[in-house]
Amino acid sequence: MNRGKLIILDGPTGSGKSTQSQILLKKFQAAKLSAKIFNYPDINNSLISRLLNRLSDNPGYDLTQASRVLLDAITSSETMSIINQSLNDGVYCICESSFIANIVKYCYSHNIDNYEGVISVMSFANMGIIADLTIIFDAPPKVLIDRSIDNQDGTKISIEDIEKIRTGYLLEAKKHELPIIFSTDSVESISNLVWEKVTECLAIRNYSNTSNKMTEPIALSEILSSKSDYLVSDPSKTDEYILDNNGVKSISSKGIDFLNNVITNTEDNVYAFKDTFSTVTVAAAMARLSRRGDDLRLTLVDEFSGNVDADQKLLKRVISEYGDDSVQQLSGHHLVVEGASNLLTKKIEWGRLAAYLEQSTRYIYYDRKNSNGEYNYFIPKELDASIKKTYKKTLNKIYDNYSQIIVELTNYLRKTSKVPEKERDSAWRSAIKAQACDVARNVLPVAAKSTVGVYGSAQAIESLIMRLMSDELIEARSTGKKILDNMRQIAPVFYERADDPMRGGANIAYKVDTNIAIDKIVKSKLRVGFSSDLNPVTLVDYYPKNEIDLVPYMLYEHSDLSLAELNKEVNSWTYEDKNKLFDQYIGNRLNRRHRPGRAVEIARYSWDIVCDYGIFRDLQRHRIVDNLVWQDLTPRYGFEIPKLIEETNLSDKYEECFDLSVKLYSQMKLAGYDKQAQYSTLLGHKMRFQVTYNAREAFHIHELRTSPQGHPGYRKLVLEMHKKLMEVHPLLANAMRFVNTDEDPELSRLAAERYKKLKLKKLL
Domain 537-639+682-763 of CATH type 3.30.1360.170:
yes
SS3 sequence, 301-314? HHHHCCCCCCHHHH
Residues 6+ apart with CB under 8 A from 648: 408, 409, 412
Compute the average pLDDT of residues 171-186.
Answer: 83
Within this chain, domains 332-525 and 537-639+682-763 share the same CATH topology: yes
Selected residue with higher pLDDT from 42 and 256: 256
pLDDT of residue 231: 33
Compute the average pLDDT of residues 449-471.
Answer: 92
Compute the average pLDDT of residues 100-123.
Answer: 81
Split at pLDDT 50, 70, 90, the class of 236 is very low
What CATH topology corresponds to 332-525? Answer: Gyrase A; domain 2 (3.30.1360)
Split at pLDDT 50, 70, 90, the class of 222 is very low
pLDDT of residue 278: 73
306 within 8 A of 233, measured Cβ to Cβ: yes
Selected residue with higher pLDDT from 167 and 233: 167
Selected residue with higher pLDDT from 528 and 174: 174
Residue 211: pLDDT over 50: no
Residue 360: pLDDT over 90: no
Going from the C-alpha of 532 to that of each of 335, 661, 674, the distances in angstroms are 41, 21, 21
CA–CA gap between residue 257 and residue 266 (Å, rounded): 9
pLDDT of residue 587: 93
Q: Using DSSP bridges, classify how beta strands 686-694 and 626-630 pair: parallel, antiparallel or unpaired.
A: antiparallel
Compute the average pLDDT of residues 145-171.
Answer: 70
Highest mean pLDDT among 88-97, 455-464, 546-555: 546-555
Selected residue with higher pLDDT from 621 and 279: 621
Split at pLDDT 50, 70, 90, the class of 62 is low
Residue 497: pLDDT over 50: yes
pLDDT of residue 233: 37
596 within 8 A of 696, measured Cβ to Cβ: yes
Q: Using DSSP bridges, classify how beta strands 686-694 and 604-612 pair: parallel, antiparallel or unpaired.
A: antiparallel
Name the packing angle between helices 458-469 and 474-490 (round to 10°). 150
Selected residue with higher pLDDT from 726 and 164: 726
Whether the link from the prior residue into 536 is cis, omega within 30° of 0, is no
Residue 51: pLDDT over 70: no
Q: How far is CA 364 from the centre of its chain?
A: 30
194 within 8 A of 20, measured Cβ to Cβ: yes
Selected residue with higher pLDDT from 708 and 562: 562
The proportion of the chain whose per-residue pLDDT surpasses 90, expressed as a percent, equals: 38
pLDDT of residue 69: 81
Split at pLDDT 50, 70, 90, the class of 633 is very high
Going from the C-alpha of 457 to that of each of 471, 487, 490, 567, the distances in angstroms are 21, 12, 13, 40
Compute the average pLDDT of residues 580-588.
Answer: 95
The proportion of the chain whose per-residue pLDDT surpasses 70, expressed as a percent, equals: 83
Q: Which residues of 8-27 are buried (b: 16+ CB within 10 A; e: fewer)?
A: bbbbbbbbbbebbbebbbee
Q: Which residues of 220-236 are buried (b: 16+ CB within 10 A; e: fewer)?
A: beebbbebeebbbbeee
Residue 494: pLDDT over 50: yes
Query: Across all residues in the chain, what is the average pLDDT?
Result: 82
pLDDT of residue 293: 65
Residue 203: pLDDT over 50: no
Residue 55: pLDDT over 70: no
pLDDT of residue 291: 59
Tell me the per-residue pLDDT of 649-685, one tens digit each, with 9 for 90 and over: 999 999 999 999 999 999 999 999 999 999 999 999 9
Q: Taking the model in full, what pTM does it have?
A: 0.63
pLDDT of residue 158: 72
pLDDT of residue 531: 73
- For residue 154, the tally of other CB atoms under 10 A from its CB is 6
pLDDT of residue 287: 66
Domain map (residue ranges) of the chain: 6-222, 235-330, 332-525, 537-639+682-763
Compute the average pLDDT of residues 39-55.
Answer: 62
Tell me the per-residue pLDDT of 590-616, one tens digit each, with 9 for 90 and over: 999 999 999 999 999 999 999 999 899
CA atoms within 13 A on the CB side of 601: 7
pLDDT of residue 1: 58
Residue 426 phi, psi (nearest 5): -65, -35
Compute the average pLDDT of residues 428-441.
Answer: 87
Split at pLDDT 50, 70, 90, the class of 290 is low
pLDDT of residue 4: 83
Compute the average pLDDT of residues 742-764.
Answer: 54
Split at pLDDT 50, 70, 90, the class of 43 is low
CA–CA gap between residue 43 and residue 49 (Å, rounded): 5
Tell me the per-residue pLDDT of 86-95, one tens digit each, with 9 for 90 and over: 888 888 899 9
Ramachandran category for residue 415: left, alpha or beta (phi over 0 → left; psi -120 to 50 → alpha): alpha
Residues 6+ apart with CB under 8 A from 329: 457, 458, 459
Which CATH number does the domain 6-222 belong to among 3.30.2320.50, 2.30.40.10, 3.40.50.300, 1.10.150.240? 3.40.50.300
Selected residue with higher pLDDT from 539 and 496: 539
According to DSSP, the residues that pair with 39 across neighbouring strands are 96
Residue 357 phi, psi (nearest 5): -145, 135
pLDDT of residue 76: 82
Selected residue with higher pLDDT from 196 and 236: 196
Q: How far is CA 447 from the centre of its chain?
A: 26
Compute the average pLDDT of residues 117-139.
Answer: 85
Compute the average pLDDT of residues 333-338.
Answer: 88
Whether the link from the prior residue into 380 is cis, omega within 30° of 0, is no
CA–CA gap between residue 543 and residue 537 (Å, rounded): 17
CA–CA gap between residue 517 and residue 557 (Å, rounded): 45
Residue 421: pLDDT over 90: no
